[in-house]
Amino acid sequence: MGVNLRLQDAKAVLFDLDGTLLDSSRAITDAVENVLKSRGLECDRAKVAEMTGNPLENIFAVLASDLSTEELWQLVLDYRKYYMAHHLEHTTIQPSTKMLLAKLKTRGLKLGIITGKYREPVIDALSHFGISEFFDTVITGYEVRNHKPAPDIVLEAAKRLRVNPKQCVVVGDSPLDVEAGKRAGSLTIAVSSNPRSRRQMGKVKPTAIVTDLEAISEKLFGNSI
């Protein structure tokens, strides 16, 4: 990770959205299933859950491998239309999200969203759950050249926040988030609530692993909270 880098030295915290601050797993899976069934295709919901966090075009390329690139992108467009109309019906905010964000802002940290999804539903969800005001920047995977695990989105967030990437902490629930943070030279906190997920996270070696959002403030501030 580099010399003398500590979570307590962070100037900014960059959050993944889905699975980290919000639980949108059912909304995502429902939208994928709806689009596939509209084309007479089967949907493996467990496989969709496993791939959540990857770009939509990659997910559909696996689930509908016989389709052409043009047809796959049409599925992406159909997904976006359906998801935007229905995503808030089955999306919830993690219980500790608002409390954590408020605490981090009080301590003077800059906050950002770095998510692989496209922008419209992200802004919609942040507004719906009343957390837009906490964030100094919001960047999506379609606003940078390469998706996670490439470091592009982390580096762009650090640039917009005028913070050295080494003074950023990337928080996410996926190995993709950890890899993106590490490749950018940032510190990383993996949020993992079950043993299987923690084992997967352990393989990518984040700076820290927590089981819930509440534990993040202790990692950043020790007992002085």
* Entry field: residues in the chain: 225
Last residue of a domain, one of 73, 90, 107: 90
Last residue of a domain, one of 90, 111, 138: 90
- Across residues 18-46, what is the average pLDDT? 95
For β-strands 110-115 and 137-140, DSSP reports them as parallel
pLDDT of residue 12 exceeding 50, the answer is yes
Mean pLDDT of the chain, nearest integer: 93
pLDDT of residue 3 exceeding 70, the answer is no
Say whether both 60 and 160 belong to one domain: no
3-class DSSP assignment, residue 76? helix
Query: Which has the higher per-residue pLDDT, 202 or 172?
Result: 172
Say whether both 17 and 44 belong to one domain: no
Say whether both 96 and 109 belong to one domain: yes
Whether residue 1 lies inside any domain: the answer is: no
pLDDT of residue 5: 59
pLDDT of residue 78 exceeding 90, the answer is yes
Whether residue 70 lies inside any domain: the answer is: yes
Say whether both 55 and 147 belong to one domain: no
Whether residue 178 lies inside any domain: the answer is: yes
At 44, which CATH number?
1.10.150.240
Query: Which has the higher per-residue pLDDT, 218 or 124?
Result: 124
Say whether both 97 and 194 belong to one domain: yes
**What is the count of structural domains for the chain?**
2
pLDDT of residue 2: 40
3-class DSSP assignment, residue 221? helix
User: pLDDT, tens digit, for every residue of 130-168?
Assistant: 999 999 999 999 999 999 999 999 999 999 999 999 999
User: pLDDT, tens digit, for every residue of 171-191?
Assistant: 999 999 999 999 999 999 999
pLDDT of residue 53: 85
Say whether both 18 and 110 belong to one domain: yes
Query: Which has the higher per-residue pLDDT, 194 or 57?
Result: 57
pLDDT of residue 202 exceeding 60, the answer is yes
pLDDT of residue 44 exceeding 50, the answer is yes
User: pLDDT, tens digit, for every residue of 79-129?
Assistant: 999 999 999 999 999 999 999 999 999 999 999 999 999 999 999 999 999
Say whether both 85 and 168 belong to one domain: no
143-165 residues labelled b (16+ CB within 10 A) or e (exposed) = ebeebbbbbbbbbbbbeebebeb
Please classify residue 6 by burial: count the beta carbons closer than 10 Å to its beta carbon, then call 0-12 exposed, 13-18 middle and 19+ buried.
exposed
Say whether both 39 and 105 belong to one domain: no
Q: Which residues contact 71 (CB under 8 A, 6 or more apart)?
A: 64
